[in-house]
């Protein structure tokens, strides 16, 4: 018996990147799930849903995690702590206030399952409990380790909330291991890597970027994504300085927005304004990948690394930090290189790529094959549907 017919509903809390939501919406094409999507605010995803004819509604629910900063003397820090605690209580109160409206809307829509799309959706267990339906919680982050987020409700309550889900989905083994830190057990965790492209798209993106190996000077390294202290852009610039002492033609292209003050300062301090390009936000990352030869994934404790897979799909090898989910994507000397430590070891790997472009291309070819084999949206959707079937079956029996 399928989980849902075309007349029944599952609710997706979509708060993460558009790519993740698009992958989940592939489920609608299978004819077994009729989603209605809850958004906390209007944004780019709103148009995507409207174009696809997917019902959605907006209610301003709040995250239950936050970035916290402390500076100054002890009395300044105490004041900052108290203000941030007050803000956390305010967010929790706002969620309590908005919960009845959300529940009424979803009850009227015939919701049978809540699928929360991020660890930051703290309202998810309360919503599922209020509706009396199962909760599938899709964890895509290592919140404390990856994004340095503060758990406003505390670790114990976070773990208790996760245990309320009838099934947890982890996007990597690193995420699964992180979940267990809070829940204490892995019995209800299913590992499903993200789907990145439809199967038919892999050949197209390879062709789009095939010209890169016809010209390997200047040899260009690429970083794409949120600019954040944990993402390692500063380390990449420091490594490039070491590389250029031997290979002055090397270049670095960084695409993304965020906290870039330290990054810009490091570029200026090392005198590499001409060697490092800051492209800002780029709508289509494949236009950036086409301009480079090797992706750098310097992020510490990356949950999985969608950008890593996107770059691999184009035939780009990866130099990744030996931590988190990156270790699950990069196979040493097969589709890239891993580096421990910091800028010095990263620079050594970068030089190896520059000095042997033929081998770099071979690793890129293998990267593309691995991405197509493991990270298609079709494979992802099938795995999520299996979870829905299992949840429904256990509920029936």
Confidence of residue 395 (pLDDT cuts 50, 70, 90): low
Mean pLDDT, the chain, integer: 92
- HEC string of 245-314 equals CCCCCCEEEEECCECCHHHHHHHHHCCCCCCEEEEECCCCHHHHHCCCCEEEECCCCCCCCHHHHHHHHC
Q: Give DSSP secondary structure letters for 55-68.
A: -EEE-----SEE--
Condensed to tens digits (0 to 9), the pLDDT of residues 271-298 reads 999 999 999 999 999 999 999 999 999 9
DSSP string, 215-252: --SS-EEEEES-B-GGGTHHHHHHHHHHHHTT-TT-EE
397/391 Cα distance (integer angstroms): 10
Domain boundary assignment for the chain = 9-195+376-396, 201-374
Q: CATH assignment of 9-195+376-396?
A: 3.40.50.2000
More confident residue, 24 or 157: 157
Prediction pTM value: 0.89
CA distance readout (Å), 74 to 71, 80, 150, 341, 373: 8, 10, 20, 33, 53
The DSSP element (H or E) to which 199 belongs, if any, is none
pLDDT confidence tier of residue 52, bands split at 50, 70 and 90: confident
Task: Tell the residue number behind the tokens 């992706």, with chain if given.
Answer: 295
pLDDT digits (tens, 9 = 90+) for 209-266: 999 999 999 999 999 999 988 899 999 999 999 999 999 999 999 999 999 999 999 9
Q: How far apart are CA 375 and CA 369, in angstroms?
A: 10
- pLDDT reported for residue 26: 78
- Residue 16 has what pLDDT? 59
pLDDT at residue number 4: 37
- Cα 349 to Cα 83: distance, rounded to the nearest angstrom: 45
Question: What is the pLDDT at residue 5?
Answer: 35
User: What's the pLDDT at 20?
Assistant: 63
Confidence of residue 9 (pLDDT cuts 50, 70, 90): low
CB atoms within 10 A of CB 226: 16
Predicted local confidence at residue 51, as pLDDT: 87
Summarised one tens digit per residue, pLDDT across range 157-202 is 999 999 999 999 999 999 999 999 999 987 799 999 999 999 999 9
As a whole number, mean pLDDT of residues 84-103 equals 96
DSSP for residue 165: S
CA distances from 264 to 238, 363, 386 (A): 12, 31, 46
Pick the CATH number of 201-374 from 1.20.1050.10, 3.40.50.2000, 3.30.465.10, 3.40.50.300: 3.40.50.2000
Instruction: Answer whether 336's CB lies under 8 Å from 363's CB.
Output: yes
pLDDT tens digits along 297-336: 999 889 999 999 999 999 999 999 999 999 999 999 999 9
């Amino acid at each position: 018996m399928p989980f849902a017919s075309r007349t029944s509903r599952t609710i997706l809390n979509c708060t993460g990147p558009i790519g993740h939501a698009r992958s989940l919406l592939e489920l609608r094409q299978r004819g077994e799930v009729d989603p209605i999507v809850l958004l906390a605010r209007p944004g780019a995803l709103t148009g995507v849903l409207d174009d696809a004819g997917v019902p959605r509604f907006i209610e301003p629910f709040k995250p239950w995690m936050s970035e916290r900063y402390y500076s100054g003397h002890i009395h300044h820090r105490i004041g900052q702590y108290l203000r941030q605690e007050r803000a956390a209580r305010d967010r929790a109160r706002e969620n309590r206030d908005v919960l009845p409206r959300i529940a009424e809307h979803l009850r009227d829509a015939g919701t049978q399952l809540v699928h929360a799309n991020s660890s930051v959706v703290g309202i998810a267990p309360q919503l599922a409990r209020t509706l009396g339906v199962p909760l599938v919680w899709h964890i895509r982050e290592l919140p404390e380790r990856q994004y340095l987020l503060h758990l406003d409700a505390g670790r114990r309550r976070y773990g208790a909330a996760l245990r309320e889900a009838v099934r947890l989905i982890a996007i990597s083994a690193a995420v699964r291991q992180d979940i267990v830190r809070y829940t204490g057990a892995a019995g209800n965790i299913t590992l499903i890597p993200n789907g990145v492209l439809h199967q038919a798209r892999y050949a197209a993106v390879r062709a789009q970027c095939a010209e890169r190996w016809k010209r390997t000077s200047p040899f260009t390294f690429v970083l794409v994504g949120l600019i954040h202290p944990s993402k390692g852009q500063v380390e990449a610039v420091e490594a490039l300085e070491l590389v250029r002492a031997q290979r002055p033609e090397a270049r670095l292209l960084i695409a993304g927005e965020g906290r870039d003050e330290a990054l810009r300062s490091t570029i200026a301090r090392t005198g590499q304004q001409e060697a490092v390009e800051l492209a800002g936000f780029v709508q289509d990352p494949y236009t950036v990948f086409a301009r480079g030869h090797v992706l750098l994934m310097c992020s510490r404790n990356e949950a999985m690394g969608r950008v890593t897979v996107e770059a691999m799909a184009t035939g780009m090898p990866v130099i990744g930090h030996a931590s988190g989910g990156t270790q699950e994507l990069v196979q040493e000397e097969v589709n890239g290189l891993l580096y421990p430590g910091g800028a010095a070891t990263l620079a050594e790997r970068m030089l190896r790529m520059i000095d042997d472009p033929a081998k770099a291309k071979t690793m890129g070819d293998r990267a593309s094959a691995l991405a197509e084999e493991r990270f298609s949206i079709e494979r992802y959707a099938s795995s999520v549907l299996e979870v829905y079937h299992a949840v429904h079956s256990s509920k029936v029996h």
